[in-house]
Every structure is written in structure tokens, then in C-alpha cells.
């Protein structure tokens, strides 16, 4: 089952590009949801055998990253009546090119890191690094608070992918801890997005610029 990892990771990377290039908020969230589901599948595949923990972890990841958080985001869009466009600071083409550059750099950098025998040739390290970079890119180049949450989510996904190298080493408690933490962070961010929209009647971080030197 181990050879299924790479195709899944290729799909995850393509979804990064989709999230970078899409102009509709809904498309972006759909891409992230699909990425979350793929990561859940990845957990089972990376465990290499059907243990009860692996399946539980996968279910938790899919429920959280694939269903719950996207629903929360959709809910926020509907309730707060956020406009449906993404509003990037730099253009979509520039974001895509930067994303491509980031992926290339991630591959180059991961080639300089030594990889354990059983992971040689696997895409896990470059995929993790480039997903993390994509998350950064979305975080820093999008205006809306909700897209910044999406960027944070992608960043966490990248870290989650790297965690796949350690599935045997990481105790169950920590894996769940990571997911729970993500959940709480997104939840708190959701509450604040709601507050921001109530105060400013829009959820653009352009309004959040009264504090500066």
C-alpha cells in the first residue's frame, strides 16, 4: 500500500496550485476540503496496515479537515455574507508562479536533507515543505481574514504530511493533540472573524491597519 503515497501527494500538490490560482472562495475551500480528505486517506496508507488507531486517526482527520472546518468556513461565508472573490494582494498568476517556484525550491532543499532508507524516493518531504510554503503564500498574499485561515490550514496540512514519516514513532496522543489544536485554533479564529465582520461590516484585513508605527 506504500506505493499509493506518491499519487496521493501529487494530488495534494495539485490542490495547492488550485487553492493558489482559484478566484472563487468556494473553489478554494473545496480544494482544501479535498486535500483534507486525501490526508486522511494518507494516514491509513502510511500506516501500511489496517490498525484500529490508523483508521481512527484517518477518520478524525477526514472529519475535521475534510468536513467540519470547510463547513465552518462555508457557514462563515454565508452568515457574514462575505463577497465570493478571493481578493489577492498580488495577482493570481504571480501567486501561481511563486507557488511553482516554492515547489521547486522545496524539492531542491529536500534533496539536501538525508532521507532514511525506507523513505528514499518518496515525495513526503518535498510535498510537506512545498505545502507549508503554499500555506505561507496564501497567508501573506490574501486580504480576507477567511483566506488567512485557509492559509493557516494549508500550512498545518504541510506539517501533517511530514508527520507521516513518523507515524510509527508518534504516539496516538500527540497526533490527536495536533488535530485538536488545529480545531480549537480554527474555531477561535472563526469567532474572531465573526466579531471582525460585526465591527467593520466586512472581513477584509485591510481594515485591520490602525495599529502601526
Partner 1 sequence: MVWLLVLIPLLLAVAAVLIPSGRLRPWLVPFGGLIQVVLVVFAISSENVSGFQGWLLLDPLGKLVLLFISVLFFICSLYVPGYLSLRAERPTRLFCACLLSMLGMMTLMTLSHHLGLMWVAMEATTLASAPLLLFNSSTRSLEATWKYLLIGSVGIALALLGSFFLAYASLYEGLESTLQFDDLIKLAPHLSKPWLHAAFVLLLVGYGTKMGLAPMHTWKPDAYGEAPGLVGALLAGGVTSCAFLAILRFYSLCVASGEAAFAREIFIFSGILSMVVAAVFMIRQRDFKRMLAYSSVEHMGILVLGIGVGGLATYGALLHLLTNGLTKGVLFLSAGNIHRAFGSKLTDDVRGAIRRVPMSGALFLAGFLAITGSPPFGPFISEFTILNGAIGSGKFVVAALFLLLLAIVFVGMGSTVLRVTQGTPSTPATATDFRESPRFVIPILLFLGMSLLLGLYIPPQLESLLKNAALFVENGV
Partner 2 sequence: MLISQIIVHVVLLLVMPPLLLGVIGKTKALFGGRVGPPLFQAFFDLIKLFQKGSVISSTTTWVFRAGPVVGLATAILAGLFIPFGGHASPVSFSGDLILFAYLFALGRFFTASAALDTGSAFEGMGAAREVTFSCLAEPALFFGFLVLAKLSGSLSLTAMLDGPMPNSWGAAGASLVLVAASLFIVLLVENSRIPFDDPNTHLELTMIHEVMVLDHSGPALGMILYGAAMKLFVMCALLLRIVAPFDSGNIWVDWGIFAVGMLALAMVIGVVESIMARFKLTFVPTFLVAACLLSAFGIILLLR
Kindly tell me which residue out of 158, 179, 190, 204 binds partner 1, with binding defined by CB under 8 A.
158
Residue 53 makes contact with partner 1 by CB under 8 A: no
Residue 121 makes contact with partner 1 by CB under 8 A: no
Classified as helix, coil or strand, 24 is strand
Q: Contact, 110 vs 129, CB < 8 A?
A: yes
> Residues 6 or more apart from 28 whose CB is under 8 A from it?
18, 19, 22, 86, 147, 150
Residue 196 makes contact with partner 1 by CB under 8 A: yes
Tell me the per-residue interface mask from 59 to 78 with partner 2, x by CB under 8 A, - otherwise.
--------------------
Range 7-46, binding partner 2 (CB under 8 A): 7, 10, 13-14, 17, 21, 23
- 1: number of Cβ within 10 Å: 11
Kindly tell me which residue out of 8, 66, 147, 156 binds partner 1, with binding defined by CB under 8 A.
156
Cα 99 from Cα 103, distance rounded (Å): 6
Cα 90 from Cα 21, distance rounded (Å): 11
Kindly tell me which residue out of 55, 72, 96, 170 binds partner 2, with binding defined by CB under 8 A.
96
Distances (CA, A) of 104 to 107, 110, 127, 191: 5, 10, 10, 36
C-alpha cell at 165: 514519516
Please choose which of partner 1, partner 2, none residue 148 contacts, taking the beta carbon within 5 to 8 angstroms, the exact cut-off set by kind. Answer: partner 1
Kindly tell me which residue out of 33, 42, 123, 152 binds partner 1, with binding defined by CB under 8 A.
152
Classified as helix, coil or strand, 142 is strand
Classified as helix, coil or strand, 50 is coil
Kindly tell me which residue out of 1, 10, 184, 206 binds partner 1, with binding defined by CB under 8 A.
184
Q: Nearest-CA neighbor of 13 among 126, 153, 91?
A: 126
Kindly tell me which residue out of 26, 112, 134, 141 binds partner 1, with binding defined by CB under 8 A.
112
Classified as helix, coil or strand, 17 is helix
Positions touching partner 2 (CB under 8 A) are 6-7, 10, 13-14, 17, 21, 23, 92-93, 96-97, 99-100, 103-104, 107, 111, 121, 123, 126
By the criterion CB under 8 A, which residues form the site for partner 1? 112-116, 128, 132, 136, 139, 145, 148, 152, 155-156, 158-159, 162-163, 165-166, 168-171, 173-174, 177-178, 181, 184-185, 188-189, 192, 195-196, 199-200, 205, 207-211, 213
Amino acid at each position: 500500500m506504500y506505493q499509493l503515497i506518491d499519487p496521493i501527494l501529487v494530488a495534494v500538490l495539485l490542490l495547492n496550485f488550485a487553492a493558489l490560482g482559484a478566484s472563487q472562495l468556494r473553489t478554494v475551500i473545496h480544494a482544501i476540503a479535498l486535500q483534507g480528505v486525501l490526508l486522511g486517506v494518507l494516514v491509513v496508507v502510511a500506516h501500511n496496515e489496517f490498525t484500529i488507531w490508523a483508521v481512527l486517526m484517518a477518520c478524525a482527520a477526514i472529519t475535521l479537515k475534510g468536513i467540519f472546518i470547510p463547513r465552518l468556513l462555508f457557514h462563515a461565508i454565508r452568515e457574514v455574507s462575505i463577497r465570493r472573490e478571493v481578493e489577492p494582494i498580488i495577482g493570481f498568476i504571480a501567486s501561481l508562479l511563486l507557488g511553482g517556484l516554492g515547489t521547486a525550491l522545496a524539492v531542491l532543499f529536500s534533496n539536501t536533507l538525508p532521507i532514511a532508507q525506507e523513505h528514499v524516493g518518496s515525495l513526503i518531504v518535498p510535498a510537506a515543505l512545498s505545502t507549508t510554503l503554499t500555506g505561507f503564500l496564501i497567508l501573506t498574499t490574501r486580504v480576507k481574514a477567511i483566506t488567512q485561515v485557509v492559509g493557516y490550514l494549508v500550512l498545518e496540512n504541510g506539517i501533517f504530511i511530514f508527520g507521516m514519516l513518523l507515524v510509527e514513532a508518534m504516539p496516538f496522543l500527540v497526533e490527536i493533540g495536533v488535530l485538536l489544536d488545529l480545531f480549537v485554533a480554527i474555531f477561535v479564529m472563526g469567532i474572531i472573524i465573526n466579531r471582525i465582520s460585526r465591527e467593520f461590516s466586512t472581513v477584509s484585513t485591510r481594515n485591520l491597519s490602525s495599529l502601526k508605527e
